[in-house]
Amino acid sequence: MAVTVALVLCLGAVLVSPGAGAQLSQNTQALDGRGNNQNNPDWGRAGTQYTRIAPARYADGKGQPVAGPNTRLVSNRIFNDVNQNIFSENGISQWGFVWGQFLDHTFGLRDEAGTVANIPFNPADPLESFTNTLGNIPFTRSGVAPGTGVTNPRQQINTVSSYIDAWAVYGGTDQRLDFLREGSQDGNPNNNGARLFLPNNYLPRRDARGNPAGAPTMAVDGRLLGTPNAARVAGDVRANENIALTATHTLFAREHNRIVNGLPIILSQDTKFAIARRVVIGTQQWITYTEFLPTLGINLPAYQGYKTNVNANLGNEFATVGYRAHSMIHGELEIEADGDRYDQATLDAIEAQGVEVGPGEEAGEVAFVVPLNVAFFNPQLVQQLQLGPLLQGIGSEREYRNDEQIDNQLRSVLFQVPVSGNPECLDGPTLPECFRGVLDLGAIDIERGRDHGMPTYNQLRAALGLPAKNSFTAITGEASENFPFFDPELTRGNEINDPDSLDFVQLKDRNGVVLTPGTEEADEQTVVGVRRTTTAARLKAIYGSVNNLDAFTGMVAEQHIAGTEFGETQRALWTRQFQALRDGDRFFFGNDPTLTNIRIVYGFDFRHNLGDVIALNTDLKRADLEDNVFLAPLD
């Protein structure tokens, strides 16, 4: 008992309250990232500039975006998947993009308080299939970092901490954490309980404490615009963007409480909170570096310990180009569960929202197919579907291939509310019938690059130490960058504006078996698709020269390195950034003896994979999940 008490006292001295305003000491991990690097306490702190590896590229050298082809025009010709699913060739599950977004919402959020610069929309474009009564695609430039953009190049601010520090769970201010922790709501989390506030074991609504005006800000859009107080509150403002993300936030809030519940009552509430937070941070890092990155094909050099000269600040090129893997995002979520989990009223309520409800593959099971537009800003659906089945469903099917194609749920109707109540037009070829506005994430990805002064594709490669590409086929790995000399389906001389140019003429599954377009097998098994025209030919027709290519467009069009989800440029960006996030973090799990002390004294080990965390915090058994949930079950 004396040994335990001594260790408790030692840990109590180390694990003080981590509030952003608390006095910093060698072993205190601040909410907002400050002081992580003791020689440079602002490195990685929320509210600091993104770093750059290449000079900012603006038309006037200061802040005017460079000109280029209309980004919706590019999207219609390069990113348009014409409703053909193409899946990860390596069998990565939807946890690939869900965990990627959870991480993104941990270490990056640009200052959004910029000026409006909407993207022109051309309804007469022969490749346009959507109606847009707005007349443009909404776009707002990022805010300008103070002291930049007037006599020197414009820079941008990362409003969250750059570290992998579970910001998405705890937030970066005492005020937000005060709401998130059980107990009083007076702006000071240090007099609150150790547990996170989870009514019915789910994230709290903004009105859960009775006064939504006093709740932290949460981003709302789409279905939540009419009921903003129904938004769930979490560490990051974006937690309601889709149900998979909301579910992941819920999972790690539960994990925090699981740890707190197992700690000795002798400990103060603050010490229990700090121990649980430290373990959750370590677990988020462990999953990222031992499961997520290796499974996707990012293999870092062996860890050599913390380096005080490594700045972990998020890079502008990584945040604006490299980490925008939106092609991975599947257009729907599929869930199967025991039917006796749900009463008929709940099933009816789920179906009324546009979810397809039907019998599962096994007797007594119910299956749900949730179109992505129904999953956007619809947090109530998490509790209706239940956390276990939803998290299991994320790992049950492959994500889309990380390439230039982006599903229309993102490429055309992102966060839009359907104008038709017909659930049969919420996905697939009938999608344009449901919507009257266009919000194109692919077009925005290119536009954001111009807004942030991103280098061209070849300039970015040079900054990464990669050789320039001198042809479009060198990027895509295709045989030709010219349109077919003769094809009766194409308009000779105007192929780039011919809708038939996007036709898929051959589809294959992961075993190389040719599939018939339009069949169920083609919809569910395709990993390789060949179009009537090559991506290289369409890029050449739009950009003319490789040296004119937007960095994002070139990156996503690259041929993959075998066994990975990435082309050469994107893999280099990820490798560089995640190595800096590891080596420049004083609290990285490989450099943190406190985690070992916690394991020895209290038995809580941060070294859990994602499947373990799911099983520990839901009613699922570990055997119900894949050993590595980032890999979908084989067919």
**The predicted structure's pLDDT at residue 420:** 66
Kindly list the domain boundaries of the chain, sorted by start residue. 2-327+439-454+550-624, 495-533
Residue (of 247, 412, 243) closest to 332 by Cα position: 243
Q: At 210, which helix (H) or strand (E)?
A: none
H helices, E strands: number in the chain: 23, 10
Cβ count within 10 A of residue 503? 17
Which residue type does 96 have?
G
Sign of the dihedral defined by the CA atoms of residues 117, 120, 121, 127, in that order: negative
Q: 453 in the Ramachandran plot: left (φ > 0), alpha (ψ -120 to 50) or beta? A: left
Of all residues in the chain, the percent with pLDDT exceeding 90 is 84
Residue identified by tokens 């599939």 is 515
Q: Would you say residue 19 has pLDDT above 90?
A: no
How far, in Å, CA of 381 to CA of 246, rounded?
Answer: 10
Provide the pLDDT confidence category of residue 153 given band limits of 50, 70 and 90.
very high
**The predicted structure's pLDDT at residue 422:** 64
Provide the pLDDT confidence category of residue 423 given band limits of 50, 70 and 90.
low
Provide the pLDDT confidence category of residue 144 given band limits of 50, 70 and 90.
very high
Cα distances from 434 to residues 79, 223, 409, 442, 449, in angstroms, run 21, 15, 11, 20, 30
Cα distances from 324 to residues 169, 509, 566, 619, in angstroms, run 22, 26, 12, 33
Higher pLDDT among residues 189 and 337, named by residue: 337
Report which DSSP code applies to 331: S
How far, in Å, CA of 452 to CA of 152, rounded?
Answer: 14
Fold assignment, 2-327+439-454+550-624: Myeloperoxidase, subunit C (1.10.640)
What is the average pLDDT score of the chain?
92
SS3 211: coil
Q: Taking the model in full, what pTM does it have?
A: 0.94
Among 4-18, 61-75, 336-350, whose mean pLDDT is lowest? 4-18
How far, in Å, CA of 195 to CA of 214, rounded?
Answer: 20
**The predicted structure's pLDDT at residue 486:** 84
Provide the pLDDT confidence category of residue 419 given band limits of 50, 70 and 90.
confident
Which residue type does 414 have?
L
Instruction: Report the DSSP pairing between strands 504-508 and 356-359.
Output: unpaired
Residue spans of alpha helices (H) in 15-117: 71-74, 95-107
Instruction: Report the DSSP pairing between strands 157-158 and 48-49.
Output: antiparallel
**The predicted structure's pLDDT at residue 417:** 78
Provide the pLDDT confidence category of residue 452 given band limits of 50, 70 and 90.
very high
Residue 237: both structure tokens together = 């403002």
Provide the pLDDT confidence category of residue 426 given band limits of 50, 70 and 90.
confident
Q: At 115, which helix (H) or strand (E)?
A: none
Residue identified by tokens 């590019």 is 74
**The predicted structure's pLDDT at residue 73:** 98
Provide the pLDDT confidence category of residue 16 given band limits of 50, 70 and 90.
very low
Provide the pLDDT confidence category of residue 28 given band limits of 50, 70 and 90.
confident
Q: 518 in the Ramachandran plot: left (φ > 0), alpha (ψ -120 to 50) or beta? A: left
Q: At 247, which helix (H) or strand (E)?
A: helix 243-261
Report which DSSP code applies to 464: T
Mean of pLDDT values over 13-25: 34
Distance of CA 179 to the CA centre of its chain: 25
SS3 45: coil
Residue spans of alpha helices (H) in 288-411: 293-296, 316-317, 344-352, 372-375, 380-385, 387-394, 408-411
Q: 82 in the Ramachandran plot: left (φ > 0), alpha (ψ -120 to 50) or beta? A: left
**The predicted structure's pLDDT at residue 176:** 96
What phi, psi does 147 have (nearest 5°)? 80, 10
How far, in Å, CA of 249 to CA of 243, rounded?
Answer: 10
Max CA pair span of the chain: 86
Of all residues in the chain, the percent with pLDDT exceeding 70 is 95
Residue identified by tokens 């569910």 is 524
Q: Would you say residue 2 has pLDDT above 50?
A: no
Provide the pLDDT confidence category of residue 87 given band limits of 50, 70 and 90.
very high
Q: Would you say residue 470 has pLDDT above 50?
A: yes
- Give residues with Cβ within 8 angstroms of 106, minimum separation 6: 160, 164, 165, 166, 167, 168, 236, 284
Model confidence pLDDT, tens digit, residues 217-274: 999 998 899 999 999 999 999 999 999 999 999 999 999 999 999 999 999 999 999 9
How far, in Å, CA of 256 to CA of 267, rounded?
Answer: 16
Is there a contact between 332 and 369 (Cβ–Cβ < 8 Å)? yes
Q: At 552, which helix (H) or strand (E)?
A: helix 551-556
**The predicted structure's pLDDT at residue 431:** 82
Cα distances from 556 to residues 202, 451, 503, 509, in angstroms, run 37, 19, 19, 21
Among 15-24, 332-341, 347-356, 605-614, whose mean pLDDT is lowest? 15-24
